[in-house]
Structure 1
Amino acid sequence: MRRFRGRTFLIGIGTVVSLGLTACGGGSTPSAAPSAEGKALEKTTITVGALPIPDSAGMHIAIAKGFFKEEGLTVNVTQLQSSAIAVPNLLGGSLDMILGNYFAIINIQSKKGGDFRFVADAYQAKPDTFALVVPKDSKIETPKDLKGANIAVPAVNSIGEMAAGSTLRTVGLDRLKDVKFQQYAFPDMPAALATGKVDAAWLTEPFLTGVQKNAGARKIADTMTGAMADFPMAGWTVTKKWAEANPNTVAAFQRAYAKGQQLAASDRKEVESILPKYTKISPQDAAVITLGAFPTTLSANRIQRVADLMLEYGYLTEKLDVTPLLVPQPQ
């Protein structure tokens, strides 16, 4: 197979689906409504974008429990089918906030393609939450067999590529010379595997369990080990301009979200209950899928790991301090 030589940061075009999920009544709401803290919100309705994966469980729990409503905030959720379209929609203004992949946000920030702020942490990898899989009849048995393979990832120059590349590194393969990464949305990866368009795919839940259960795909490597163990994956992200224009709205979101995230972190049953409501996973599968962690604090030290590993692996050309990107949590 052809080797992949060039490296290009792809934004791409994908599908956006409005779920119609809100934290309180639909439609526009008056501006300057008070939050639970008594401060007027600059925006009382916001639109957030997220993939249909476990990472956003804390927010969906907060919606279901009415925590945003208590803050006078309506949260409309737009379901994104591809991570590649999240940032363009945020920068374009169609989304107020996204569940941002830390790798992608830091990558664009470093290239001055946008100025972002993280308002809350969302998801952290745990063993077997992000894995490389191959078709059941594939001759590929171990990561070492991937030399010359086409590997599906959500985007090139992405966290998926870095995680897969880290695994390849442990068996002496070079992500730039020995494999070719191809961009596919998570929902499209099982079909790409089945039709032979790719030889392997980097998948997360619920797609990871789904492709093994429905197509007999085989997992050949847990990519979240070694340098990638307990890796920070995603956080709620806004632009710097939006954060500065809407400080009370940001704080209201943070307070409400923290309650939902705390439930996600402390009670797996809460996550199992909410997952079928915004993903295609069944209640039965929700009870058995492998979940990562739901951090309840926004830690600069934790997120700095992402930027530092990106530098080590050649995705960044100079060190980036993430501390200025974090919005302080309300007291």
Structure 2
Amino acid sequence: MMRVSSKWILAAGAVAAVMAGVSAAQAQTTIRVGWTIPAEESKYWMMRRPAEFPSLGKDYKVEWTQFQGTAPMTQALAAGALDCATQAVLSLSNGVVGGGLKAYIVAQHVFEKPGGFSVYWAVKDDSPIKTIADLKGKTIGISVIGGGTQGPFNMLLKKNGLDPATDVKLVEVGFAVSEDALRQGRVDAVNMNQPFAARAEAKGGTRKLFALSEAMPNIVHILEACRADFVDKNPDAVKAYVKDITAGMKKALANREETLKVVSEQLKAPIPVLESYLLKDNDFGRDPGAAPNFQAMQKMLDIYAETGMLPKLDVMQFKHPTIVAPLQ
């Protein structure tokens, strides 16, 4: 009887251990996250230095998917193919208005600050294009049609007497190949972002035509948004994710030397190019806790509404009462 009882005790213990493992696996939520280039240092840290984030892989898992820009990620969020993703204010709002997307803004990546870097359109040094008005009839590259940069881009064209829909030919050119597209003559002007702008400037032969800051100062360029239904269903996993976004931003700002390595690994950009701007005064601005600047976003939404690009929207519809950076 003692032997039989011992066997049953051991068997019961084994079953309990298996069931505990199953429960743990079931409890570990996978978050499908979209990302892009550039300026997502907190995510790059999470991807390249996962050991620095104890909750990652334990309390939740991430499936990372790279996209060319924010607009395709908006479509993926609306279709339920992503749970969280990098977004621009305009692309996220278009998803809400046109795609029925409901989402929370849980963190912020970068914004334009006075004296810092502003996304700009460049032409070749010998180009006859001297002003924005000279772009009429020309082919212009933009990272993603309908993405975050197109709002202020359209505004600048309109201020200079051009109809963005009819007076120029707009084509999609990813930031990584924008310099080549311009130098090879495939476009007459193209948008420049870091680190590709720094690389092109070092080579010479191009010049800045206009920057987005001329239309909309202090732009919140990219933020982190998660589908509302996913957050409501998985609050603990999303909270852990936002904590890691917060921690990632702090690590990026606290250790520039390591951040240069992380970004170089992720973007395949040489450290000397990154060194010329990354986390310096001529770079984007970053909130130390990755906190979303809802007030600045509301100003952007108001401008979009005034120019007819969006209906009137209240940014607070995107704010979760508790799950928003910074989270410790």
- TM-score of the superposition, structure 1-length normalised? 0.77
1:297-308 alignment runs, 5 A limit: 297-308=291-302
Task: Classify 1:42/1:200 alpha carbon distance in 2 versus 1 (closer, same or farther; 3 Å).
Answer: farther
Quick check: 1:121 aligned with 2:108?
yes
Alignment correspondent of 1:3:
none
Deviations 1:235-281 (A, max 9, x none): 11221111111110111011121111123345544542321011021
Q: Distance in 1 between matches of 2:198 and 2:161?
A: 28
- Out of 301, 308, 313, the residue aligned to residue 314 of structure 1 is 308
Give the structure with the higher percent helix.
2
AA aligned opposite 1:244: D
Aligned-partner SS, 2:117: coil
Superposed counterparts of 1:31-70, under 5 Å: 33=24, 42-54=27-39, 56-63=40-47, 64=49, 66-70=51-55
Aligned residue in 2 for 1:287: 275
CA deviation string 1:115-161 (max 9, x = no partner) = 22211111112333301111343221333422332211122333222
Structure 2 residue identity aligned to 1:241: D
The count of corresponding residues between Structure 1 and Structure 2 is 293
SS in 2 for 1:158: coil
Asked if residue 164 in structure 1 is aligned to residue 123 in structure 2, the reply is: no
What CA distance in whole angstroms lies between the structure 2 residues aligned with 1:254 and 1:282?
Answer: 29
Asked if 2 retains the 8 angstrom alpha-carbon contact of 1:150 and 1:199, the reply is: yes
Contact 1:110 1:320 in 2 (8 A): no
Q: Indicate the percent of aligned positions where both proteins have the same amino acid.
A: 25
Structure 1 residues 93 and 265: alpha-carbon distance in aligned structure 2, compared to 1, 3 A threshold: same
Shift of 1:210: 2.9
CA distance in 1, matches of 2:140, 2:185: 11
1:254 corresponds in structure 2 to 242
Instruction: Output one character per residue of 1:151-197: Cα deviation in whole Å (capped at 9) or x when no partner.
Output: 11122333222222333355454434543322232234334323433
* 2:206 counterpart letter in structure 1: A
Partner of 1:263: 251
Partner of 1:146: 135
For the 8 Å contact 2:75–2:95, the answer to whether it is kept is no
Could you tell me the TM-score, scaled by structure 2's length? 0.78
Aligned counterparts of 2:22 and 2:210: Cα–Cα separation in 1: 50
Mapped to 1, the partners of 2:22 and 2:77 lie a distance apart of 21
Given that residues 122 and 294 in structure 1 are in contact (C-alpha distance below 8 angstroms), is that contact kept between their aligned partners in structure 2?
yes
> Could you tell me whether the CA contact under 8 Å between 2:301 and 2:312 is conserved in 1?
yes
- Structure 1 residues not aligned, in runs of 5+: 1-29, 34-39
Q: Specify the alignment match of 1:221 in structure 2.
A: 210
Q: Secondary structure of the equivalent of 2:66? A: strand
Equivalent AA in structure 2 for residue 247 of structure 1: P
Mark the CA change 1:176 to 1:81 in structure 2 (over 3 Å): closer, same or farther. closer
Secondary structure in structure 2 of the residue aligned to 1:220 = strand
SS class of match (2:213)? coil
Q: Which runs of 5+ in 2 are unaligned?
A: 1-20
CA RMSD across the alignment? 2.8
Task: Choose the corresponding residue for 2:76, options 89, 96, 99.
Answer: 89
> Is this contact kept in 2: 1:68–1:75, CA < 8 A?
no
Distance in 1, matches of 2:250 and 2:240, equals 16
Alpha carbons 1:60, 1:274 under 8 Å: kept: yes
**Structure 1 CA distance for aligned equivalents of residues 33 and 142 of structure 2:** 23
Larger Rg: 2
Rounded to whole Å, the distance in 2 between the matches of 1:212 and 1:304 is 33
| Counterparts of 1:291 and 1:323, CA distance in 2 | 28
Deviates more, 1:150-159 or 1:76-85: 76-85
Q: Does 1:324 align with 2:317?
A: yes
Q: Deviations over 1:61-107 (max 9, x none)?
A: 24526353246333343222344432233344443321112210111
Does 2:101 align with 1:108? Answer: no
